[in-house]
Structure 1
Amino acid sequence: MKKLIYLFVICLGLAGCSKDSFVSNFDQKPEERMAASIAEVNTSLLSSTNGWIGTLPTNAGGGYGFYMTFNNNQEVSMLGDLTDATSNTLRTSTFRVKTGLGADLIFDTYNHISILADPNSGVFGGTTGTGFRSDVEFTYVKSTSDSIFFVGKAYRQPLVMVKATAAQKAIYTATDGYKNAINKIKTFFANTNNPYVEVTSGSTILKAGISLNVTNSLTVGKRINFTGLGPDGKVVNSSTQKYAFDAEGVTIVNGGLVWGGITFVKLRWKDATTLAAYDSTGKEYIIKSSIAPLVPLFQLWGTKYNGMLSDYKTIYPGTTTKGADILNYFHNGLIASVTGGFTFNYGRINFVWNTTNKRLTVNGFSSQNGGTSGWITAIIYNYTVTDAGVFKFTLNTAASGGYTANPLSRLHTFMLANTVTFDYYIDNGNLYGKMTSVEDPTIVMTFLLQ
C-alpha cells in the first residue's frame, strides 16, 4: 500500500511540472539549420585562396581529377584530367548551393565535370543516355580543416575536394602545367618495362606489378592495378582501383587500393625521375623496372584479366598476316552473304574465361545500330593447360544464338586445330594479349585485355 501511495505522489509531481521547464535539443528551426548549412558550404568553397584539388570516381567508368576555384559571383573555374584540352583549358561555369536532401552543390552550367554525365556517347565515349553514370549535383557530407566531402545525388560517387597549396596552384595555373604533370606520369609507365614495387610479407619479399590504364574506356580506363604472386609463389593476387591525376602524380580514389594487406593511396615523384607509391601510413615504395613480366599472362586469366576483345574491324599491333586473315573473316563477314541473310554495322569478338570449370567462351556480337544492342553467338570450349602454359581446346557447346556462327568459323577451326600459348605484346606503351599457335608460330593474334 505504501508503494502505491509513493508512486501516486511521484506522478502528481511530474504532472505539476511546468511545460516551460522543457528545453529542446534543437535550438534552431529546420529552415534555420538548413540555411546555416548552405552558408557553411558557400563559405568553405570560397575559403581556399589557392583553389581546390578534386577527385571524382564515376559509377560506370574510371576516376577523374579536377582543379577548381570558386568566387562570390557563383562562378567556378575548372581544369580536368579527361583530355589534354581539359587539363590545359580553364573552363568557367556557374554553381549554386541550395536546399535538397541536405545542402546541395550544383554545377548548373556545362563544365568539365558535366562531360562525364553527358548522355551523348559521341562527346566522350560514354553510354548513350547515361554517359559515365556521373553527377552534376552533389550533397554535402562533411568538412575538415583542409577538405570538403560531397556525394553524387544520383550515382552516389564521392566528390572529395582538398585545399591546394600555393605550390600546387602554381603547377595548375602555369601554361601546360597540369597537362605536363599528367604526361610525365604517362611517359613513365609507357617507357618503364614491367613496373613493380616490393612488399614485405613476413620474411618474404613479394613483387607487385603495377599497370596504369590511361585511356577513358568505360570498362578498363583510368584504373590502376597491382598484380603479383603471393607468398606461396603460385596464387596470383590482383587488385584494381580507380584513380585521378593531380599536379603531383596520381591519387587512388575510393579509399585506396589494397594489395598484400597494404592500402596504397597515391603515386608521387621522389625526385625528377624516381616515382614511388605511398600507402595510407605514408610508407614509401619505390617503383622499379623488371625486364620480364612478373607473372605469365596465362596465370592471370580469371584474376587480373577475365578475357580478351577484338573490336570491330580493328587489327591490333603484333597480329601477323595469317592471324589477321582469321579475325577479318569475322569483321568483314558481317554481311548477308556470310551471315546467311543479314548485314550488320558493328560487331566484336569477346573471349571470356571460366577458370573454375576450365572453359573458354567465344562470343561473336553483331549489331545493326552501332553496338547499342544486338545479338550474340556463343561457342564454348573446354581446355587443358600444361605447367608451361600450353592450351588445348575441345568443343563443349557448338555455336548457338545470334547470327555470327559462319563469321566465327575460321576462328573456331583454328581453336580446335591448334594448341596455343598466351603472352604479352607491348606497342607504344599499350599492353595487349597475344595468342600464338604452337604448330604454326606464324599465326599470331593480339587482343585488348579485359
Structure 2
Amino acid sequence: MMKKHLLYILLFTLALGACKKDTTEPAIGNVDDRLSATLTAYQTQLTGAQFGWRGFLLTNSKVVGTFLFSFTDKNRTTMSADFNPTPAESSYRLKALQRPTLLFDSYSTLHLLADPTPSVLGGTTGSGYLADFEFAFLSSNADTIKLEGTFNKSKLILVRSKSAAENSDALTSPEAMATTLSKLRTYFKRTTIGGANCEVRIDVGQNIIGFNYLDAGVMKKVSSSYYVSGTTINLFTPITVGTATVSEINGVNFNTGTGFISGSIKGGEAIEIKEAIVPIEYDKTAAQRWFNAPTNGAYWTCFNGFTIDGVPDAYGLRTIPGFNFLIFYSKFNVAYSRLGFIVGGAYGAYGPAPIAAFPADGTIKFTNAGSFGTAPVAIRNIVTNTQNNFFKAAGFYVIQSGEKSYDLVAFDDARSWISFE
C-alpha cells in the first residue's frame, strides 16, 4: 500500500512540474528583436558611408544601370544614374517583409526603369524594363551589399564609395569602357584564359561579355552581363573558362602599339584580347535558318544599322528624321527580298530588293534585283552606304547571337556587321 501511495505522489509531482510555465528566453533572443536589430544595422551601414554608395543594377530584361546613392537617417535618399545624371531626392524605408527589405517608396530615378509607359524611358508597355524598387538583402560586408528585387528579381549591388573622385567617375566609366572595347575593329576577337583559346563576344550596348571555346572538341559558350567600375569589368554572374573562374577583368586598357586590349582576371592571370577575322567555329546552317525563319514569321528588324570598325550605326541610320528601324523581309515575294527603311511607321519609298545566295561555305551573299525608289537627297548617302555594304561581293558570315537574334558579319575582314532581331 505504501508503494502505491509513493507512486501517486511521484506522478502528482511530475504533473505539477509539467504545468509550470517556462519563462526563460532562448539564448538567441526574441525573433522580432533580432529582426529589428538587423534593420537598424543595415540603416546604420547605409547612412554611415561618407561618400555614399555606387549602385549597379541588372534588371530582369538584362538592362544594366549605374547609380549613385546617398542615404540619410531621416529616410531620404539622393540618387543619380548614368541615364539620368541629375541628382534627385526621394524617400526610402527598411522593412521586415519575408526578408529584411530596402524599399524606395516614392517615385525616384530608379523607378524610371520600371515605368510601364514607353514614353518615359523607352521601356515595354506595362512592364518597363522589368526593374524593381523593392529589394531584399542577400548579403553584406563592410563595403558591399547585395540585394535582389522582390518582384522582378533584379540584381542590385551597392559598393561603398571611397572618395568624391570615385563618385565623379562612376557615371562616366561605362561609356569610357565602351569606347575602349570598341577600339578593337573586328567582330571576332580572341584571347586565352585558363589554358583555353577563346573567342570573345562583347556587346557594349547590352553590357554582355561571353567566351566561346572548345573543350575536348565540344564548343562551350558562356556569358554574363557586366557592370563597369573604373577600369574593371565586373561580371554579375562569374563564369568558368577553361580552368579559370572569371568574375572580373581588371585594368582594361587598349594598347595603341600592339592594337590589343590588355587586362587581368582575379588571381592575376594576364590576358590580351586581339582582333580576328574568322570565328573559332562556324555553324554553316545559320545563314539559311536566319533567312527562312524570321522570329515573327515574316521579317527581321535592325535598329542601329552597320557597325564599322567598332563604331555603332556608322552610317547614321538613326539620324534619319522619324526613323523607326531597318527591315529585312526575306520573302517579300517569290523573286526577291526587301531591305526596307521604316520611317514614321511606314516603308520609305526607296531601298533595294536583294536576292540571296547560299554558297557551300555557309555564308550568305546578296545581289540587287532593283530599287523601290530613290531616297530623298538629305538622306541619300545614308541609304546608299547601307545598301552598298549589304551587297559586298564577299558576303557575310551569319552568327546566331541569341535565341532570336542574328549578326551578319563581313566575310572578307569582319570589320563591319549588322544585327537583326
Which amino acid in the other structure matches residue 362 of structure 2?
A: G
Q: Name 2:106's counterpart in structure 1.
A: 109
Give the drift of 1:28.
Answer: 5.1
* Partner of residue 250 from structure 1, selected from 229, 233, 236: 233
Q: Name 2:362's counterpart in structure 1.
A: 389
Distance 1:317 1:25, change over 3 A: closer
Name the SS for the 2:113 alignment partner: helix
Q: Name 1:17's counterpart in structure 2.
A: 17
Moved over 4 A (4+): 7-14, 26-31, 270-274, 299-302, 305-309, 312-318, 345-351, 383-386
Corresponding position: 1:43 with 2:30 = no
Distance 1:247 1:199, change over 3 A: closer
Give the drift of 1:89.
Answer: 3.3
Give the drift of 1:59.
Answer: 0.9
CA distance in 1, matches of 2:325, 2:253: 47
Name the SS for the 2:42 alignment partner: helix
Query: C-alpha root-mean-square deviation of aligned residues, in Å?
Result: 4.6
Corresponding position: 1:76 with 2:73 = no
Q: Name 2:199's counterpart in structure 1.
A: 209
Name the SS for the 1:77 alignment partner: strand
CA distance in 2, matches of 1:300, 1:266: 34
Corresponding position: 1:158 with 2:155 = yes
Name the SS for the 1:389 alignment partner: coil
Indicate conservation of the 8 Å contact 2:253/2:263, yes or no: no
Indicate conservation of the 8 Å contact 2:70/2:77, yes or no: yes
* Partner of residue 212 from structure 2, selected from 217, 227, 235: 227
Corresponding position: 1:262 with 2:249 = no
Q: Note the 1:333-344 alignment, pairs <5 A.
A: none
CA distance in 1, matches of 2:326, 2:251: 42
C-alpha distance after superposition, 1:301-342 (max 9, x if no partner): 59xx99898327986468xxxxxxxxxxxxxxxxxxxxxxxx
Corresponding position: 1:124 with 2:117 = no
Paired residues, what number?
Answer: 332
Corresponding position: 1:239 with 2:222 = yes
CA distance in 1, matches of 2:294, 2:198: 21
Indicate conservation of the 8 Å contact 1:54/1:159, yes or no: yes
Corresponding position: 1:289 with 2:274 = yes
C-alpha distance after superposition, 1:97-130 (max 9, x if no partner): 2343333211123333222211112333321110
Q: Name 1:448's counterpart in structure 2.
A: 419
Distance 1:391 1:180, change over 3 A: closer
CA distance in 1, matches of 2:199, 2:40: 47
Q: Name 1:379's counterpart in structure 2.
A: none
Name the SS for the 1:182 alignment partner: helix
Distance 1:195 1:346, change over 3 A: closer
C-alpha distance after superposition, 1:5-34 (max 9, x if no partner): xx9999766534363456342765554344
Which amino acid in the other structure matches residue 257 of structure 1?
A: I
Distance 1:171 1:301, change over 3 A: farther
Q: Name 1:66's counterpart in structure 2.
A: 67
Indicate conservation of the 8 Å contact 1:207/1:294, yes or no: no
Q: Name 1:172's counterpart in structure 2.
A: 167
Give the drift of 1:296.
Answer: 5.4
Q: Name 2:349's counterpart in structure 1.
A: none
Indicate conservation of the 8 Å contact 1:63/1:223, yes or no: no
Unaligned runs of 5+ in 2: 1-6, 256-260, 309-323, 331-336, 347-356, 366-393, 400-405
Indicate conservation of the 8 Å contact 1:66/1:246, yes or no: no
